[in-house]
Amino acid sequence: MQTISASIVLYNSPVEQVRACLSSLQRDAAMRIFLIDNSEVKGRYAQFASDSVQIIDAPDNIGFGRGHNLALPHIAALRSLVHFVVNPDIVAKADCVSTLASFILGRPDVVVAGPRIVSPEGDLYHSCKLLPTPWNLFARRFAPAFMYARADALYELRKFSYDKVLEVNSLSGAFLAFRSETFLALKGFDPRYFMYLEDVDICRRAAKVGVLTLEPRAEVIHEHGQGSYRSFRLLKEHLRSAILYFNRFGWFCDRERAALNRATVSRLTMHLLDK
C-alpha cells in the first residue's frame, strides 16, 4: 500500500513547469503520482513516466474535476491514505507534503487540509474563504470595487494571518490534501463543472463528513493566473459554473451556507482574540 498519492491535470502545460512541480512533490515523501493529460496532442509528458509517476491520457479536454476523477479507480486500487489534488503551476516547499499527510493521519476528524499559498514573489494568497454568495462572485467581477470591497474582505477572511490552524469550509483547489477514503466516498469532483467552483463544491460536501483545515506549517508557491479576467471564453465558463453551483445549493436563501459561514467567522474571531 502506498500511503500518499496525487493527481495533476495537465492541459498543454509547459514541460519545465511540470518537472518543477513533480520534483517538489517528491522531495520529502514517497508517493504515487497520476498525470492526467487533457491536451489534444498526447505524448508530451511521456518522459515523466516511472515507477512512481503514471500518465493517464484523457479522451479530450474534459476539464479540471473530471480529469482528477480519472484517478479515482487507481487511488482505490492503490489504497492510499492521503490523496493530493495539485495544479501543475504549484511548487511545494520543503516538508509540505509530509506535513499535510502527517496532519491528516494524526487527526481522525480532518478530511481535507490545505497549505499556505504564496505567489512567486512571496505574497499571501487568501486561500481560506467563506462559502460564496451570488454577491461575492458576481459583484467582485462586474461591480466597481467600492461597492463590494467590504463584503470581499469578509469573504476572503482577510483578518486571518495564516499563522495558526483554522477550520474552514472552503479551501483553494490549487493544492488540496484529502483523506483518500473521503475523496473516494464523495466520488471526487462533480463532473458537471468544467472548471471553476468545483473546489468550493467538493469542500462544501466534504464539510458534511469531517473537518477542513488550513495547516500553516505547509506552504506552496502558486502562479495564480485568474484566467477568467483575461479570456471571454473562460469568463463564460466561470459564469456557467457559478449558475450551476447556486442552482445546486441555493442562491439567496441558503441556510446551510449561512450556518457554515457563521461558524467559520466565529472560529476566526476566537483566533483573533487568542493573540
Q: Which three cell numbers stand for residue 70?
A: 480519472
Q: What is the pLDDT of residues 10-36, one digit of tens each?
A: 999 999 999 999 999 999 889 999 999
Q: Model confidence at 146, in pLDDT bands (50, 70, 90)?
A: confident
142 has a pLDDT exceeding 80: no
CB 8 within 8 A of CB 106: no
35-39 long-range Cβ contacts below 8 angstroms, 24+ apart: 35/7, 35/8, 35/10, 36/7, 36/8, 36/9, 36/10, 36/67, 36/68, 36/70, 36/71, 37/10, 38/9, 38/10, 38/11, 38/62, 38/63, 38/67, 39/10, 39/11, 39/12
Q: How far apart are alpha carbons 178 and 186 in whole angstroms?
A: 11
Can you spell out the DSSP letters for 176-197?
Answer: EEEEHHHHHHTTSS-TT-SSSS
3-class secondary structure, 40? coil
Task: From residue 174, give the alpha-carbon distance in Å to each of 2, 5, 56, 200, 263.
Answer: 23, 16, 20, 11, 24
- Report the CATH number that the domain containing residue 29 is assigned in CATH: 3.90.550.10
Counted domains in the chain: 1
Characterize the bridge pairing of strands 211-222 and 110-118. parallel
Q: How far apart are alpha carbons 128 and 79 in whole angstroms?
A: 29
168 has a pLDDT exceeding 80: yes
The percent of residues in the chain predicted with pLDDT above 90, rounded, is 79
pLDDT, position 2:
66
Q: Which domain holds residue 191?
A: 4-273
Can you spell out the DSSP letters for 60-101?
Answer: S---HHHHHHTTHHHHHHHT-SEEEEE-TTEEEPTTHHHHHH
275 has a pLDDT exceeding 80: no
Q: Model confidence at 271, in pLDDT bands (50, 70, 90)?
A: confident
Q: Model confidence at 234, in pLDDT bands (50, 70, 90)?
A: confident
In the block, which residue shows the cell 502506498?
2
Q: Which three cell numbers stand for residue 58?
A: 484523457
Local structure of residue 164 (DSSP, 8 states): S
- Range with the lowest mean pLDDT among 12-21, 98-107, 166-175, 265-274? 265-274
Q: What is the pLDDT of residues 54-70, one digit of tens each?
A: 999 999 999 999 999 99
Helix H or strand E segment including 213? strand 211-222
202 has a pLDDT exceeding 80: yes
Q: Model confidence at 78, in pLDDT bands (50, 70, 90)?
A: very high
In the block, which residue shows the cell 467590504?
150
Closest listed residue to residue 101, CA positions, set 29, 166, 173: 29
